[in-house]
Amino acid sequence: GENVEQHPSTLSVQEGDSAVIKCTYSDSASNYFPWYKQELGKRPQLIIDIRSNVGEKKDQRIAVTLNKTAKHFSLHITETQPEDSAVYFCAADRFMKTSYDKVIFGPGTSLSVIP
Amino acid sequence: DAGVIQSPRHEVTEMGQEVTLRCKPISGHDYLFWYRQTMMRGLELLIYFNNNVPIDDSGMPEDRFSAKMPNASFSTLKIQPSEPRDSAVYFCASSLAQWRRSAFFGQGTRLTVV
């Protein structure tokens, strides 16, 4: 079946450095790729998403890149801050205009930003 | 808007008991999702509804699990009978397809079956 792999599973960076998390997906029909941030004991929250017709998207310190040919996408966080410490989940979804297909989540990356 | 509201926040029950989790989606959203999160299996989609109709329940683990959405503002996830391996955090999420955005999650219900 379809799956999403995510690497690394844990990541520690110094405050101010960049962090990169990579995901690969198997379903070539996937066309929507959201990223969620989940702080300890809290709900997942959407932080950025990208559609398959776009190669890159940026929102302040966060950017996502997508390589459809290779079926992988990455989250880039620049100038990391301690409040960026959380578990980050990628997901791959087939999103049509009026329907969803089954979204598959990656296993998560635990990011620690060391002050 | 208060966002997606789930109740209870925490539930501790004995094995064999019936458990009902509740969710109120964001007003106007036409999609509702139930997820389960565990350390072992991560985040899993159990079932989702569109306009109160169940669309895909292939993620529901067993017949002991059932979900309903009697109206646009309320959904339940029921486990009967509950087992210790059902212990997890259950999230409800909702979204509006026309926004072409992903789902907004509730705070979750932490279920412990002893």
Percent of chain A whose predicted confidence (pLDDT) is above 70: 92
For testing contact with chain B, the best of A100, A102, A104 (most B CBs within 10 A): A100
Average pLDDT over residues B97-105: 67
In chain B, what residues touch A100 (CB-CB under 8 Å)?
A: 31, 48, 50, 55, 97
In the DSSP assignment, the letter for residue A78 is -
> What confidence score (pLDDT) does residue B102 get?
66
| Model pLDDT for residues B23-43, shown as the tens digit of each residue | 999 999 988 999 999 988 888
Q: Are B1 and B27 a contacting pair, CB within 8 Å?
A: yes
Give the residue among A94, A109, A97 at the shortest CA–CA distance from B56. Answer: A94
Mean pLDDT, rounded, of chain A: 91
Contact (CB<8Å) B102/A93: yes
Higher-scoring residue by pLDDT: A46, A1: A46
Percent of chain B whose predicted confidence (pLDDT) is above 70: 94
| Model pLDDT for residues A59-107, shown as the tens digit of each residue | 999 999 999 999 999 999 999 999 999 999 999 987 665 555 667 889 9
Length of chain A: 115
Q: Are B43 and B35 a contacting pair, CB within 8 Å?
A: yes
* pLDDT class of A25 with cuts at 50, 70, 90: very high
Confidence check: pLDDT of A41 > 80: yes
Which chain A residue is nearest to residue B6, measuring alpha carbons? Answer: A43
For testing contact with chain A, the best of B92, B102, B110 (most A CBs within 10 A): B102
> What confidence score (pLDDT) does residue B58 get?
85
* pLDDT class of A56 with cuts at 50, 70, 90: very high
> What confidence score (pLDDT) does residue B55 get?
86
Average pLDDT over residues B57-80: 94
Half-sphere exposure of B22 (CA within 13 A, CB side): 8
Average pLDDT over residues A17-25: 97
Q: By CB neighbour count within 10 A (0-12 exposed, 13-18 middle, 19+ buried), where does A46 fall?
A: middle
Mapping DSSP to helix (H, G, I), strand (E, B) and coil, where does residue A83 land? helix
Q: Which of B42, B55, B91 lies closest to A43 in CB terms? A: B91
Confidence check: pLDDT of B19 > 70: yes
Q: ∠ CA B57-B95-B112 to the nearest 5 degrees? A: 55
Interface of B with A in 21-80 (CB under 8 A): 31, 42-45, 48, 50, 55-56, 58-59
Q: Which of A46, A107, A108 lies closest to B102 in CB terms? A: A46
In chain A, what residues touch B91 (CB-CB under 8 Å)?
A: 43-44
